[in-house]
């Protein structure tokens, strides 16, 4: 295979220290059941000096042109009738970086949607992941979130920035019907209430618990990025909450199926996949993140901690499912 610097395998996973585009080019057509990941958010963070690092770009336009190569391959390798889910948010631009002294938001999520449409996907759905504006203000001191601004001139005020899970579908073309494999959730395993919860367009806290999203979802449900042995690496990596991947996999894949995470980071999506009895293929360009991903995947493989939909949703299986299992 192309361009692989290092690779490691375990029970149900394979990780590659490689450029995701070159790696994806070597995957067979229609071979991936689902792809879940968080791409670099344009030029927000540069992860490494490599020209292949998609965070190493000067503008959103440049990012989209680089990312296009990956989205094109992803479309080719995804099984017809299946989905890809990407975790993104919009980005801010500041007065000191704008030619005309304005400030505002860059619609990064919309650029990603447009790109997927251009490369053949259909827009399947958008999940809004609630984020606490009070925590955002504390972290960023954003002018548009200050109470002071609200009192003086609220025309500068905005609302907090949510994250999104954007979901795209590769429809089967005529003649590809044999490749389509449905994702099935028998009634005995997923009761109506569980489906109603999974179908929520806003994910704001761990299902079954009350609370504020920022406290319940990401803060407690992420891998530790500080273990990656690279001071620069530690600074930047923002691990994807495990719950986001788990819910996507619970909704849109069958047990045993293969997930591709091209921007593998420290392995969050892969660890979530293993815990849901799915298999994972990851690529990651940065050596320190890759090494940490291998450690995290190895640990997840041996922990034996597996969740199913019931564990995920914190609900008791319906008696019918228990009886079926006992029989």
Ligand X SMILES: C[S@@+](CC[C@H](N)C(=O)[O-])C[C@H]1O[C@@H](n2cnc3c(N)ncnc32)[C@H](O)[C@@H]1O
Residues that bind ligand X (CB under 6 A): 19-21, 38, 40, 47, 52-55, 237, 239-240, 263, 265-266, 268-269, 283-286, 289
Residues in a beta bridge with 34: 83, 259
Kindly state the smallest distance separating residue 292's Cβ from ligand X, in Å: 8
Which residue, 190 or 258, has its beta carbon nearer to ligand X?
258
User: Would you give the distance in Å from CA 242 to the centre of its chain?
Assistant: 9
**Any alpha helices (H) in the chain, and if so which ranges?**
20-25, 60-77, 108-118, 133-140, 147-152, 192-198, 213-216, 231-236, 242-252, 268-275, 287-303, 309-313, 319-326
Which residue, 54 or 313, has its beta carbon nearer to ligand X?
54
The total of other beta-carbon atoms located within 10 Å of residue 79's CB is: 20
Closest CA to 87 of 210, 245, 214, 231: 245
Kindly state the smallest distance separating residue 283's Cβ from ligand X, in Å: 5
Kindly state the smallest distance separating residue 165's Cβ from ligand X, in Å: 12
Kindly state the smallest distance separating residue 185's Cβ from ligand X, in Å: 26
For 198, residues 6+ apart whose C-beta sits below 8 A from its C-beta are: 190, 247, 250, 251, 313
Which residue, 44 or 103, has its beta carbon nearer to ligand X?
44
Kindly state the smallest distance separating residue 99's Cβ from ligand X, in Å: 28
Kindly state the smallest distance separating residue 9's Cβ from ligand X, in Å: 18
Which residue, 54 or 251, has its beta carbon nearer to ligand X?
54
The total of other beta-carbon atoms located within 10 Å of residue 203's CB is: 22
Q: What angle do CA 169, 175, 178 make, to 5 degrees?
A: 75
Question: What one-character-per-residue DSSP string does 31-73 give?
Answer: -EEEEEE----TTS----S-TT-TT--SSHHHHHHHHHHHHHH
Kindly state the smallest distance separating residue 132's Cβ from ligand X, in Å: 20
Which residue, 218 or 317, has its beta carbon nearer to ligand X?
218
With the C-alpha atoms ordered 210, 214, 217, 219, is the resulting torsion angle positive or negative?
A: negative
Alpha-carbon span 92 to 108, nearest angstrom: 9
Residue 275 · residue 309 · CB < 8 Å? no
Distances (CA, A) of 271 to 100, 168, 252, 295: 45, 22, 17, 10
Residue 32 · residue 269 · CB < 8 Å? no
Kindly state the smallest distance separating residue 147's Cβ from ligand X, in Å: 31
Which residue, 73 or 269, has its beta carbon nearer to ligand X?
269
Kindly state the smallest distance separating residue 187's Cβ from ligand X, in Å: 33
Residue 172 · residue 80 · CB < 8 Å? yes
């Amino acid at each position: 295979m192309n361009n692989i610097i290092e690779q490691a395998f375990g029970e149900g996973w394979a990780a590659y220290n490689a450029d995701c585009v070159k790696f994806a080019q070597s995957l067979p057509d229609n071979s991936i059941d689902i792809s879940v990941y968080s791409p670099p958010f344009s030029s927000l963070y540069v992860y490494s000096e490599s020209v292949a690092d998609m965070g190493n770009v000067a503008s959103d336009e440049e990012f989209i042109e680089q990312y296009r190569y990956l989205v094109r391959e992803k479309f080719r390798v995804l099984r017809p009738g299946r989905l890809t889910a990407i975790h993104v948010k919009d980005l801010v631009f500041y007065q000191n970086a704008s030619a005309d002294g304005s400030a505002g938001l860059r619609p990064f999520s919309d650029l990603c949607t447009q790109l997927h449409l251009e490369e053949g996907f259909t827009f399947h759905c958008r999940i809004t992941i609630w984020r606490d504006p009070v925590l955002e203000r504390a972290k960023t001191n954003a002018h548009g979130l200050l109470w002071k601004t609200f009192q003086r001139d609220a025309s500068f005020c905005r609302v907090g920035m949510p994250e999104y899970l954007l979901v795209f579908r590769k429809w089967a073309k005529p003649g590809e019907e044999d490749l389509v494999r449905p994702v099935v959730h028998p009634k005995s395993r997923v009761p109506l209430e569980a489906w109603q919860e999974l179908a929520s367009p806003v994910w704001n806290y761990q299902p079954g618990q009350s609370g504020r999203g920022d406290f319940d979802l990401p803060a407690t449900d992420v891998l530790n990025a500080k273990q990656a042995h690279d001071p620069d690496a530690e600074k930047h990596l923002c691990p994807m909450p495990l719950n986001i991947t788990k819910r996507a996999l619970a909704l849109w894949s069958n047990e045993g199926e293969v997930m591709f995470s091209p921007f593998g980071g420290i392995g969050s999506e892969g660890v979530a996949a293993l815990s849901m009895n799915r298999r994972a293929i990851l690529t990651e360009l940065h050596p320190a993140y890759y090494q940490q991903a291998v450690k995290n995947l190895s640990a997840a493989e041996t922990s034996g901690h597996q969740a199913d939909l019931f564990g995920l949703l914190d609900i008791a299986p319906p008696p019918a499912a228990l009886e079926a299992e006992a029989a």
